[in-house]
Amino acid sequence: MPGSQDQNSLATRVLEHMALPAYRPAKLRVLARNMGIDEEIYPHLRQVVRGLLSAGAVQYGSNHALIPTAPKAAAGPGGILAFFVRDERGRDTVRLASPDNRVLRVKSGESLGARPGDEVLVRVVRSRIATPHGARTVETAKVMRVQSEKQEKFVGTVYLRDGEPRVRLDGAMFSHSVRVGDLGAKGARAGDMVLVEIINLPGPNDPHGSGVILEVLGPRGEVGVDLLAVIRGHDLPDAFPPDALEEAHRIAQAFSDQTPFMDGREDFTADATVTIDPVDAKDFDDAVWVSRDDKGHWLLKVHIADVGALVPIGGPLDREARNRATSVYLPGKVLPMFPEAISNHVASLREGEPRLVRSTLIDLDPAGRVTGARFTAGLIRVAKRLAYEQAQALIDQPQPSPDPTEEDLRQHLLRMRDLAAVLHKRRRRRGALELQMPEAKLDFDDEGRVSGAHWRTHLVAHSVIEEFMLAANEAVAEHLEKEKVPFLRRAHPDPDPFKLRGFGRFVARVGMPLEQAEDRFEVSALLERTKDMPEGRAIHFALLRSMKKAIYSADEGGHYALAAKYYCHFTSPIRRYPDLEVHRQLTRWLRDGRAGVDLRELQGLAEHCSNCERRAEAAERELVKRRILAYLADRVGEEYDAVITGVADYGIFAQGLTMPFEGRVHISALGEDWFSLDEDGHELTGRGGKRFRLGDPVRVTIARVDQERLRLDLRLVGLPDRPDQPPSAPKPPYPVKTKRPKGGKGNRGKGQKGR
C-alpha cells in the first residue's frame, strides 16, 4: 500500500491529466490505461479517485465518466447541466439533469453545434407568446457550452457521387452526406450499410464534412443488417469480454455442486411456486406464491433471483454488468446484462430446479393493507412455468379441471388474481395513475423478416404479476427508507403544475373537464373512466406528455405516477443493475446492520443507469420503427384507420389503430389555409374551419416511406368527424403557417415523430 505522499502524487497526476486540453471524459479503467497505470497500481488509483470524488475535485459525468469539477464552475451562474438530444421529430432538445429531468426545445442557432448525447450547460429562457386562447409562457433552452462530446460514430449507406464515395447517414441529424475515403480498405460497396466515425463535422464552410468507415454491416435490406445498424448506432455492447465469460463459466460449474450456496437459506421448495412470463422468455427473475387464511388475510411471497449471491462485487462479470446497466430487448434479439451461463441458467428460476432467491414475504389484511414484511435469503424450486396466455386461459376457465394438479394450479391462479385485484383497488384509492399506452409487437416469417405487426394485448395475468412486483418493490424501499439506509431509488418527479393545468385545458375541450388538474385523484378517475373510450388514447397521450420521466436517483423522493412515497427497483436483477445494487444494499444491511454506501458514487451510478436505460429504450424504438417502415415500404397507397397523436406548427402525426406505425401529415397536405397552433389544447386550427386535435380519428394512406431518414409520410383520406365543428373560424391573431402559393413548394417542416 503506498504511503500518503505517494497517494498525493497520484492524485496530482490524475488532476493534471484531466486538466490537459486533449482530455475527454473517461471511465476509471480507460483513465488508467490512458495514464499508463498497470494492474498493480490500479487499486490505489481507484482509492485515490474515490478521495477526489469525496473532496469534490472530480465528479461523474454522463455514462459514469470522470470529469474535473472546475470546468463546470467556470461556466458561470445560470448554467444548468443537460444532455443534448434530438427528438423523434428531428428537433433539437435538451434533457435537464436529474432531479429536474425536463425536456426543453432549443431554438435554431442556439445549440452551439451540440450533437445528440453531448453533455451541455444551458440557460433556460422564458418568453410570452400570443395564442388564440391568450398569452402563455414558453420555456426554451440556450446552449451556453458543450461540456463533453459523446457521439462520433453513425450508421449510414454508401453511395457514389460523381465517382466519389459518400455515406448518407440515417435519420434526420445531418442534411448532407459525409465524404469517406477509399472503399477498398474495408471492402465496402455502394448500397452497403456502414459504421462511420466523423472526423470533421459538417459545417457552414464544409457542408459534407468527412469521415472514415469503421465497419461494413452488410447490404441495406438484408436480414439482420438493420439489427446490427441499431446496435452499432447506439453503441450497444453485444459481446462479453473473455474474463467475464470465464468467470460466468466458473460460477456455473461451481453451482452444479450447490452445497456452498445452500447453507443458511430458508427452504421454500415445498411451496407450489409459479413463474409467469412472456412465452419466448429465457431468463426468469421472479416467482410468486399466494395463500389466504380463513379470516381472509393474505400471505404474498415474492422470490427474486439472488444474482448477488452468485456474482462477486468488483469482478469481471460485475464490472461488465455495471457498464451495461440493463439488458436490451430488441425485436428478435436480446443483449443480456449477464452472459447466458448466468442469465439463462444458474440465476434463472427454471421449472423443477433448485434456485437461490432473495425473498420478500408480505402479510396483508383482507383490505390489502400491509401488516408486516420480512426479507430473507431463500431456496425455491419452481413448480410450474407459465406463459401469460396459459395463465390467462386457466384464470378464464369456467369449470374446475378434471386433473387435480391442474385444478390446484387454477385455484392458486384465482387466489393470485383476487389478491392482485385488492392491491390494484388500494393503489387506485391512493391516487395511482394508470396510463394505457399501446406497445408494438412484430410478427416474423421463417426467414426472419417482418410479416406483420400489431398492438400487444394486456391481459389480467400481466396485471397480476405487475401488482405483486410493485408490492415487493415498495416493501423493500420502505424498509430501507425507515432504516435510513441510502439506496438507489426509482424516482418519478412531480410534474410541472403549469403543464398539468395545460392538460386540464385540453381535456376540458374534449368534453372531460377537471375541476383541479393538479388533483391526482381527479386525474386518476379520469384515466379509469376514459381508458376504453375513443377519447381515451388522446387523454392518456396528453397526460404522458405533461409528466416527467422516471429515473434512478440516490436522493429522497417518491414515485408520482404510482403515488408511492417509497419506491425502488428490486425484482429484476438479472436484467437491471439497479435491482442488483438494491439487493446488495438490503443484504448488507440485514447481515451487517450498516449501509456501507458512498452517496456520491451512488448518485453517479444512478445517472449512469438512467442514461443506459434511455439508450436501450431508444434502440428498441428505432429497430421497431425500422422494421415497420421496411414492412410498409411495399404497401404505399394502402389505407389505415389512425388517431392523431401529435400536432405541431408543421403538421400532424397519426398512429395506426391496428397497424403500429406513426407518421406525419405535412401541413402543406392539409389544404390551402392559415393554421394556428394551440400547444396547450394540442390542436391545429385553420381559418376555414378545419381542426385537427390530439385523439381525433382519421383515415390515412401510406404516401411515402423514407427508410434512410426513418420517416413515414401519410396522406389524409378522411378528416376528423366532429359534429360540433363550426363551419368557419376567425383568422388567428398570428399565422403559424401561411396559405400555400400556387405552384410553390409550400412550407417545409422539420423532422418527424417516432415507467
Question: What backbone phi and psi angles, to 5 degrees, belong to 646?
Answer: -165, 150
DSSP 548: P
Which range (29-43, 140-154, 471-485) has the least confidence?
140-154
Mean of the pLDDT values across residues 683-709? 89
- Whether 321 has a pLDDT exceeding 90, the answer reads yes
Tally the residues of the chain: 755
The CATH H-level superfamily of 633-754 is Nucleic acid-binding proteins (2.40.50.140)
- Whether 737 has a pLDDT exceeding 70, the answer reads no
397-444 pLDDT per residue, tens: 999 999 999 999 999 999 999 999 999 999 999 999 998 888 899 998
The mean pLDDT of the chain is 84
104-123 pLDDT per residue, tens: 889 877 888 787 767 788 88
Q: What is the pLDDT of residue 366?
A: 96
- Whether 349 has a pLDDT exceeding 60, the answer reads yes
Task: Determine contact, residues 151/116, Cβ cutoff 8 Å.
Answer: yes
579-605 pLDDT per residue, tens: 999 999 999 999 888 777 778 889 889
74-86 pLDDT per residue, tens: 333 346 788 887 7
Q: What angle do CA 736, 549, 104 make, to 5 degrees?
A: 35
- The three-class DSSP label of residue 439 is coil
**% of the chain at pLDDT higher than 70:** 85
Q: Which residue has the higher pLDDT, 130 or 361?
A: 361
When pLDDT is cut at 50, 70 and 90, the band that residue 15 belongs to is confident
Q: What is the largest CA-CA distance in the chain?
A: 84
When pLDDT is cut at 50, 70 and 90, the band that residue 725 belongs to is very low
CATH of domain 75-148: 2.40.50
For the packed helices 497-509 and 536-546, what is the interaxial angle rounded to 10 degrees?
160
Q: What is the pLDDT of residue 341?
A: 95
Q: What is the pLDDT of residue 210?
A: 87
User: Nearest 10 degrees: CA dihedral of 106, 109, 115, 120?
Assistant: -60
Domains 4-71 and 153-233 share a fold: no
- Whether 724 has a pLDDT exceeding 60, the answer reads no
Query: Which of 106-120, 355-369, 724-738 reaches the highest mean pLDDT?
Result: 355-369
- Whether 6 has a pLDDT exceeding 80, the answer reads no
- Whether 59 has a pLDDT exceeding 70, the answer reads yes
Q: What sign results for the dihedral spanned by CA atoms 590, 593, 596, 599?
A: positive
Q: Please give the Cα distance from 307 to 301 (Å, whole number).
A: 18
Nearest in space to 684 (alpha carbons), one of 714, 719, 648, 718 = 648
The grid cell for 159 is: 453511395
Nearest in space to 244 (alpha carbons), one of 308, 312, 307, 309 = 312
Q: Please give the Cα distance from 618 to 296 (Å, whole number).
A: 45
145-192 pLDDT per residue, tens: 877 666 678 899 999 988 889 999 888 666 678 899 888 888 899 999
Q: Please give the Cα distance from 137 to 542 (Å, whole number).
A: 18
- Whether 549 has a pLDDT exceeding 70, the answer reads yes
- Whether 1 has a pLDDT exceeding 60, the answer reads no
- Whether 560 has a pLDDT exceeding 50, the answer reads yes
DSSP 684: E
Mean of the pLDDT values across residues 132-152? 72
Give residue 50's Cα distance to chain centre. 29
Q: What is the pLDDT of residue 150?
A: 60
Cα 326 to Cα 28, 61, 336, 579: the distances in Å are: 20, 19, 7, 10
**Top-tier CATH class for 153-233:** mainly beta
- Whether 715 has a pLDDT exceeding 50, the answer reads yes
Cα 417 to Cα 396, 445, 458, 529: the distances in Å are: 11, 35, 14, 22
Find all residues with CB under 8 Å of 243, minimum gap 6, and list them.
Answer: 316
Q: What is the pLDDT of residue 572?
A: 97
The grid cell for 163 is: 465517382
Task: Determine contact, residues 634/221, Cβ cutoff 8 Å.
Answer: no
Percentages of the chain per state (helix, strand, coil), in multiples of 5: 30, 30, 40
Cα 752 to Cα 168, 273, 339, 653: the distances in Å are: 18, 47, 37, 8
Q: Which residue has the higher pLDDT, 12 or 313?
A: 313
Q: Please give the Cα distance from 509 to 722 (Å, whole number).
A: 12
Q: What is the pLDDT of residue 205?
A: 67
Mean of the pLDDT values across residues 662-673? 86
- The three-class DSSP label of residue 221 is coil
Q: Please give the Cα distance from 448 to 689 (Å, whole number).
A: 47
Question: What are the extents of the domains in the chain?
Answer: 4-71, 75-148, 153-233, 242-491+557-622, 497-547, 633-754
Nearest in space to 74 (alpha carbons), one of 147, 165, 183 = 147
When pLDDT is cut at 50, 70 and 90, the band that residue 729 belongs to is very low
When pLDDT is cut at 50, 70 and 90, the band that residue 133 belongs to is low
Q: Please give the Cα distance from 91 to 112 (Å, whole number).
A: 15
Q: Please give the Cα distance from 147 to 149 (Å, whole number).
A: 7
209-244 pLDDT per residue, tens: 888 999 999 999 999 999 999 999 999 999 999 999
497-529 pLDDT per residue, tens: 888 888 898 888 878 888 888 899 999 999 998
Total Cβ atoms within 10 A of residue 61: 23
Q: What is the pLDDT of residue 640?
A: 94
In this structure, CATH architecture of domain 4-71: Orthogonal Bundle (1.10)
